[in-house]
Chain A
Amino acid sequence: MSWKTAIQQWMRIVRYSILLAIRSMRNRTFRTFLTVLGILIGITTFTALMSIGVGMRTRIYQILNQFSGASMIVMSKISSTRPSIPAAVGTYLENITGVNYTVGIIEDFADVNGESVIITGIDPKNMEFLLGLSTEKGMSLSEAVKLEIYHACVIDTKLQKTLNLGINDTLLATSSTTGQILEFHIVGVVKSLQMGSMSFGGMVYTDLKVMQEIYATTNVLVYIVGLNSGVDAQNVKKAIAAVYPDADVITEDEILAMMNQIVGIINGVLLALSAISLVVGGLMILNTTMMSVLERTREIGIIKSIGAKRSHVLTIFLTEVLLISLIGGILGSLAAVGGVLAISSYMEAVYGFRVPYSFEPWIFIVGMLLAVGIGLLSGFYPSWQASSIKPVQALRYE
């Protein structure tokens, strides 16, 4: 038989196998449904978790890019909650070659009527360019400082809606660090800080000097430093350490590496979870195929007695396994998209937090390959057993 004829014959065997597989699946609808469900759950888990994992990674990069050009964060080893970096360090930083800007901030966690908020003390001139916030109502912090309004602050829209606060209201916040009750005067409302698809609520912005006055210090908690392009962050880090040995400097690359490590760990956990689902799906296929072989032992004997070779029997059973895997893979991919969209909408509606996701084509391709691969791997052994059955024994099987 020439190779062309052999291929044509094999195609006919495959067509017949597909016909047999479809009829066999319809003959045992409930069992087919359960087997498909096993693969479906596995692929849904894999696709959904991978999409979320990729989405998270993308969002983290976006978050980092929010701080336009911020290259390093200088903190103090002395305290991570109380402002400990002297103002002189800021002046020195500004004069280091290659430094574009230096922004000192003081942050404090506080409680306002049961809501957790972050109070950020920042020079109003730096607020817009660093944080990218625009005033939605009332006046900006810059204008309030010019007008010398006492303890002026701006709050974000989320806090404003949550506590039903208005312009000129007094905001009383209990500091989590000191326990002090801090009083502010609301002059304006800014858009909530958007970090990709996540919106953080509960931000209060005030002048750095106000926070320094509250803490009775001229220090700052953190310096955010922006470097010019091409400048080696490590050299600047050494220069800072030479003047301020208590500095704890994190560069953008180090932040990125940390984030990547965290995301990597999260992705690893997600992969492990989806691997468990896939293994369960594979075991279901193995079980179903073994049962099918047992039930169709006589049928195998019949077709072998009329001339079927081992490869024909293998093709018949593996075709059924492949069909089940493909159906499970396709439905699983669709279920994953639906599930992720549903969860994301629910989380946003109830908790104000939208789960990041990204439906990359490679995730679906890998998902389908996994479905087919697991199906064939699980179904191969029982199919091979089927093809090895001796016809004379099989024909006696009741």
Chain B
Amino acid sequence: MVKDIVILKNLSKIYDLGEVKVHALRNINLAIKEQEFSAIMGPSGSGKTTLLNMVGALDLPSSGRVIVDGVDITDFSEGEIADTRCKKIGFIFQFFNLVPLLTAIENIELPMLFAGNLTPQQARTRAKELLTLVGLGDRMYHRPAELSGGQQQRVAIARAFANRPAIVLADEPSGNLDRITGIEILQLMKKLNREEGQTFIIVTHDPAVAGLAERVIYVIDGRIAKDRPKGVASPDNSLVAEMKINKEHELARLHFLKKQIEILKRDLLIFNQRRNEIDPMLFRNIKEQYTAMIEDLRKKTRWLVKEEGEKYETAK
């Protein structure tokens, strides 16, 4: 039986601004299941980010209870809350929020440093694995200023996974990216949800992004207005369709590249057979060029997304 990874009971949050009291959340009751890919949607000022902050222990409720991974964190001390954020929760922000003075790999090591569970060597190994997982194996020692928006968000995703959290919370993860890059990021998150079994809660105002989720929780004026569970049609599946087309394009490209590699390898074989007819130095140069072309094509095939149920094989 799939357990509830996050439970909110009668949750309310009131901001006291002197004469004015702002009811950001009103009596929220919500349960998120393990491995769920949920979206919290709502207009600006609806309280969706506040709700996310409650779940992520970035802020404390005015009343009600917050239970994360079976532990009631509502009355935790500051240190215990920090510990919970460190070990049980991963964050992905709209503006990436990487530490500018640290490299990509150091940013990913930071949560592990605060957790204190791993030695520096183990942390470095894990950070490298995560960077490779998100497709940035060749950007480990770059600082955020040297990375594109999409790359920074990939690093942020890897960082969110550093301590194998119970849940990953994403606040408008594609909000600061162009459409193509945004799709790539969301594809990555879906992939991690699928393959790693990671629970995701995404806050968005974009119906297209919400359309990717199995479950959409609508928040209006601090209350849950609607909770669309898995299976019910999304009001906007354009992004899903777009991602599907994108995937088909990628597959076609993958096949094309594989074919190109086969052609080159065949040519190289024929060339090898006629080596006695060619000047040795010229032969060596041409062979090096063929080998370089084949290697280049192999690199391009390596990062393509695999189709559900289809085994991916890099061109041999």
A162 is an interface residue with CB less than 8 A from chain B:
no
Considering only residues 37-78 of chain B, those with a C-beta below 8 Å from chain A are 53, 56, 58-59, 78
Please name the residue on chain B nearest to A12 by beta carbon: B113
Query: Is B59 a contact partner of A392 (Cβ separation < 8 A)?
Result: yes
Please name the residue on chain A nearest to B53 by beta carbon: A392
Known: A305-B97, A310-B78. Contact between A1 and B85, CB under 8 A? no
How far apart are the CA atoms of A377 and B147 in the complex, in Å?
39
Residues of A within 8 A of B115 (CB): 307
How far apart are the CA atoms of A308 and B59 in the complex, in Å?
15
Query: Is B114 a contact partner of A312 (Cβ separation < 8 A)?
Result: yes
How far apart are the CA atoms of A293 and B83 in the complex, in Å?
23
Considering only residues 97-124 of chain B, those with a C-beta below 8 Å from chain A are 97-102, 106, 110-111, 113-116, 120
Query: Is A395 a contact partner of B93 (Cβ separation < 8 A)?
Result: yes
Query: Is B85 a contact partner of A305 (Cβ separation < 8 A)?
Result: yes
Residues of B within 8 A of A390 (CB): 59
Q: Of the 9-residue stretches A140-148, A240-248, A262-270, A296-304, which lies at the interface with chain B?
A: A296-304
Q: How far is the CB of A386 from chain B (nearest CB, A)?
A: 14
Number of residues of chain A lying within 8 A (CB) of chain B:
29
Please name the residue on chain B nearest to A10 by beta carbon: B116
B87 is an interface residue with CB less than 8 A from chain A:
yes
Residues of A within 8 A of B83 (CB): 307, 309
B79 is an interface residue with CB less than 8 A from chain A:
yes
How far apart are the CA atoms of A195 and B167 in the complex, in Å?
81
Per-residue CB contact flags for chain A residues 15-35 toward chain B (1 = under 8 Å, else 0) read 010011001100100000000
Residues of B within 8 A of A16 (CB): 110, 113
Q: Give the dominant DSSP class at B's interface.
A: helix
Query: Is A302 a contact partner of B98 (Cβ separation < 8 A)?
Result: yes
Residues of A within 8 A of B116 (CB): 1, 5-6, 9, 12
B86 is an interface residue with CB less than 8 A from chain A:
yes
Query: Is A309 a contact partner of B97 (Cβ separation < 8 A)?
Result: no
A139 is an interface residue with CB less than 8 A from chain B:
no
B159 is an interface residue with CB less than 8 A from chain A:
yes
Residue from A1, A20, A305, A310 in contact with B91 in the complex, judged by beta carbons closer than 8 Å: A305
Residue from B58, B78, B86, B101 in contact with A24 in the complex, judged by beta carbons closer than 8 Å: B101
Residues of A within 8 A of B111 (CB): 306-307
Q: How far is the CB of B73 from chain A (nearest CB, A)?
A: 13
How far apart are the CA atoms of A93 and B94 in the complex, in Å?
98
How far apart are the CA atoms of A153 and B296 in the complex, in Å?
102
Query: Is A395 a contact partner of B120 (Cβ separation < 8 A)?
Result: no
How far apart are the CA atoms of A63 and B102 in the complex, in Å?
61
How far apart are the CA atoms of A163 and B113 in the complex, in Å?
77
Per-residue CB contact flags for chain B residues 115-144 toward chain A (1 = under 8 Å, else 0) read 110001000000000000000000000000
Residues of B within 8 A of A104 (CB): none
Query: Is B85 a contact partner of A306 (Cβ separation < 8 A)?
Result: yes
Per-residue CB contact flags for chain A residues 381-398 toward chain B (1 = under 8 Å, else 0) read 000000000111001000
Residue from B79, B97, B113 in contact with A310 in the complex, judged by beta carbons closer than 8 Å: B79
Number of residues of chain B lying within 8 A (CB) of chain A:
29
How far apart are the CA atoms of A255 and B163 in the complex, in Å?
74
Q: How far is the CB of A169 from chain B (nearest CB, A)?
A: 77
Query: Is B91 a contact partner of A306 (Cβ separation < 8 A)?
Result: yes
Please name the residue on chain A nearest to B79 by beta carbon: A309
Residues of B within 8 A of A305 (CB): 56, 58, 85, 91, 97
Q: How far is the CB of B152 from chain A (nearest CB, A)?
A: 12
Please name the residue on chain B nearest to A24 by beta carbon: B101
How far apart are the CA atoms of A302 and B95 in the complex, in Å?
11
A13 is an interface residue with CB less than 8 A from chain B:
yes
How far apart are the CA atoms of A282 and B111 in the complex, in Å?
33
Please name the residue on chain B nearest to A309 by beta carbon: B82
Please name the residue on chain A nearest to B58 by beta carbon: A392
How far apart are the CA atoms of A157 and B57 in the complex, in Å?
85
Query: Is A303 a contact partner of B93 (Cβ separation < 8 A)?
Result: no
Q: How far is the CB of B245 from chain A (nearest CB, A)?
A: 35
Residues of B within 8 A of A301 (CB): 97
Residue from A20, A307, A310, A395 in contact with B102 in the complex, judged by beta carbons closer than 8 Å: A20
- Among B83, B116, B163, max chain A CB count under 10 A is at B116
Query: Is B101 a contact partner of A307 (Cβ separation < 8 A)?
Result: no
Q: How far is the CB of A314 from chain B (nearest CB, A)?
A: 13
Known: A392-B58, A392-B59. Contact between A308 and B114, CB under 8 A? yes
How far apart are the CA atoms of A1 and B85 in the complex, in Å?
18
Residues of A within 8 A of B85 (CB): 304-307
How far apart are the CA atoms of A5 and B101 in the complex, in Å?
27
How far apart are the CA atoms of A304 and B59 in the complex, in Å?
12
Residues of A within 8 A of B86 (CB): 306-308
Per-residue CB contact flags for chain A residues 364-389 toward chain B (1 = under 8 Å, else 0) read 00000000000000000000000000
Query: Is A309 a contact partner of B100 (Cβ separation < 8 A)?
Result: no
How far apart are the CA atoms of A310 and B115 in the complex, in Å?
14
Query: Is B120 a contact partner of A12 (Cβ separation < 8 A)?
Result: yes
Residues of A within 8 A of B98 (CB): 302
Q: How far is the CB of B81 from chain A (nearest CB, A)?
A: 9
Residues of B within 8 A of A12 (CB): 113, 116, 120
Considering only residues 294-346 of chain A, those with a C-beta below 8 Å from chain B are 298-299, 301-310, 312
Q: Which 8 A-B pairs have the closest CB atoms?
A: A307-B86, A9-B116, A307-B114, A23-B101, A309-B82, A392-B58, A306-B111, A392-B59
For this complex, 13 residue pairs linking A to B, each with C-beta atoms less than 8 Å apart, are: A1-B116, A16-B113, A302-B99, A303-B110, A305-B97, A306-B159, A307-B86, A307-B87, A307-B114, A307-B163, A309-B78, A310-B82, A392-B59
Residue ranges of B at the interface with A (Cβ–Cβ < 8 Å): 53, 56, 58-59, 78-79, 82-83, 85-87, 91, 93, 97-102, 106, 110-111, 113-116, 120, 159, 163
Q: Contacts A306-B159, A307-B86 given; 15 further ones with Cβ under 8 A? A: A16-B113, A20-B99, A23-B101, A24-B101, A302-B98, A303-B114, A304-B82, A304-B85, A305-B97, A307-B83, A307-B85, A307-B87, A309-B82, A309-B83, A310-B78
